[in-house]
Structures are given as C-alpha cells and as structure tokens.
Amino acid sequence: MGFPANHPAIIQAIERGLIAADPPTRTARGPLGNNDNNYGGVRMKGSDFGSPPPDNVGEWAYSMSEDGDGDGVWSNSADDREQAVAELKAHCEEDDVPFHGYVGELIEVDVSGPDAERMVDDVREFTYDANGDVGAKWPAATKDDIAALQERLDKAFGEWLTERKLWPTWAMLGPIEEVTDDANQVGVLP
C-alpha cells in the first residue's frame, strides 16, 4: 500500500530534503524550462562524471517515528534493509514500545545542472530591457539549439564539479518504507 503524497511525513521529508519529490533521475525539463520539481536544469549525479559516491550510499537508515511533526531521527543506519529492520525492532524492544518505524535506503544525491532554456530566456529578457522591442525575440533559439546548449552545459558543469571536488559528500534518503509487527512492510511512501 502506498502513502499519499500529501501524507504529513512525506511533506516534511521533502521539505527537509530527506527525500526528493520524485525519484532522482536525469529527467527532461518540464514546461517551465526545468524539471517537475522546479529545481532548475537536468538532474545529475557525481558518479555520472567519475566522482565516487559517499561511503554510506547503499546503507539503510531507520527511524522509530516520522509522523510529520519534526521528531523523526534518521541518524541510525545499517548495512542492509534486513539489518535496519532488526536494529529498529531492537530499539523498540529497548523502549518497550510496539514495533513500528520506517526504513529507507541511502542513495546518491542528485543536483540540478544549469538550465539552458532559462539562461536563453534570461538573455532575451535582459536584451529586451536594454534594447526594447527590437531585442524581444533575440536570440531566436530553436529546441535543437537549446538541446545542444543543454548538453554542453551539463558536461561542463559536471566536469567542473568533479574537478573542484564539489559534488555532495552526503547521501539522501530514498523511498521510505513503513514497517510494523503486523507485516514487515506496510507500504512504500511515494
């Protein structure tokens, strides 16, 4: 059973940057010249450019609570899901509470690259502001022109982050699963 996107725990996890609003991918930009999360350009990861992911990528974090009121603690992690569930269960037993909690795999953080369409639009607006109507449609870039620029920007930005060792050095929490005594998995939060 999945959890609705408006679930308080989901909203808070997204706001706190623990999970992305949708699975991290190198997605195409949406109608506003950016991806659906309004982050900017194409999503990219350091490993796409030869940068090693953080050491804790692939571990599983766990928490006894994530109910949307800010008390979810995700500082515990284990090597795999089964170990995370076992450790979570042990914490519940220590606190003498029914087994209930959340687990999620730590995944590599993705970042927004530059947005070629937005850059061209900014140049166009500046040119219009400085030159009036004569500059309103300059540069008259086609979709192919924008795609070619986007490809160059992605490559240059990723290489620059790698060269300068500026990729994120932390992991992010992937999809969250609720676990209880009733079933080892109640559902995956979207």
Question: What is the distance, to the nearest Å, from the Cα of residue 91 to the centroid of all Cα atoms in its chain?
Answer: 28
Would 106 be classed as within a structural domain?
Answer: yes
pLDDT tens figures, 61-85: 998 876 544 345 577 899 999 999 9
Does a structural domain hold residue 184?
A: yes
Structurally, the chain folds into a number of domains equal to: 1
- Asked whether residue 148 is domain-assigned, the answer is no
Model confidence, pTM: 0.64
Position 155 in a domain? no
Sorting pLDDT into bands at 50, 70 and 90, what band is 57? very high
Closest CA to 167 of 48, 75, 56, 77: 48
* Rounded Cα gap, residues 55 and 8, in angstroms: 30
Average pLDDT for the chain: 78
The answer to whether residue 47 is domain-embedded is yes
Q: Which domain holds residue 21?
A: 8-113+167-188
Tell me whether residue 153 is in a domain: no
Measured distance CA(188)–CA(185) in Å, rounded: 8
pLDDT tens digits, one per residue of 116-174? 999 999 999 999 899 888 888 788 899 999 999 999 999 999 999 999 999 999 998 88
| Position 77 in a domain | yes
Picking from 161, 162, 159, 116, the residue whose alpha carbon sits closest to that of residue 139 is 116
- 32: tokens are 């506003």
124 occurs within a structural domain: no
